[in-house]
Structure 1
């Protein structure tokens, strides 16, 4: 699904879209950067695992894992990741893209606390399974949100944050685990979802989601923030038609 927020009058000739730095770009760029912190967090799930397994395999580790337990711990993250996108997609359409991203930060914080005080393999497996669900949900909802709040000429540069944040998140954990204990690492890593929640709560919801819910005025307010303009009637009307056409196509009306 691709949503256009800048539109020209219908013409036979295609309209060339020019990229330019503006207040509109800065707002959408900043919102996309913050939203993708959830992808950064997903990257930390991958970066944490390898170095931590090496530490848990040492005789000096408080939780010493056997090869069988390591196999179970390895399987729990992708297992959760397999069902996570379903939760992400359902929640995104039920409670909104923004609220789904915010909601994902809460279990993320809890899982790091669980890891910090883990006493056995079961605690770690539960934490990894939940992290898998969070990561899967993030992969479903974050690109959806970024695409829907980005104007066409900014969508490409905003979309680059996905891979960038994921890679940086993995690298962050690989380096961090090497220098601190598992408990200290968990407390440091838990700061990121807290920051995401505190900052992202001020971000606008997707206008597309508001129109799906027939909340026209909320969609108008959201577009004003994203476009940094009061002249959004044409964009709003076009987006409303897109929503109606898609709902008719899927037999929802």
Structure 2
């Protein structure tokens, strides 16, 4: 199997090689001081940031939003402009006018602002990702409950029909179970998000299912079991209403 050529790495190495060559070519041996080494090192650092960001954006991740990449790209762009501008302005115009300490300080402060902006962006990204994951989990849990209720409702109607039982339930809903279905499907998602309430509702559905199994087995008309199911549903609806 052929290995893919990492174009970004090749470009980075070429850029660094050209940078080092130009710094050495356009400088004299006596001018290669600590400031020279700093300028060379900082320039390579900017190049590493640029190509590193390009390399990272190749990989999609559920943990990083597309908008976050855009914001980070903007922060990097302005930081690169800042870094290049500071290098050129100081070394071409201010080298003999102000202390080199100001040069180092400006770069350090600018870098600090860049790190802070990046940190806040990643923090906001993490918060949004966590909220999105919660919403997805709530939707999945809600869908699971609704599908289970629809199954139970179908089973409930079938057993009532077999037993010849008519449900005395005057409502816009098809049955008492459909009332609970709508309550969960169109209710407050935070109820599903709460583990305790979700567990409580799930236990109620299990109790309904157990009663339906009993209803299928009994030879009597099963009205007592129907009443039990109605009470479970009403209690569950009351519980959901109490959480709002």
Structure label with greater radius of gyration:
2
Higher relative contact order (CA 8 A, sep 6+): 1
TM-score (norm 1): 0.29
More helix by share: 2
TM-score (norm 2): 0.29
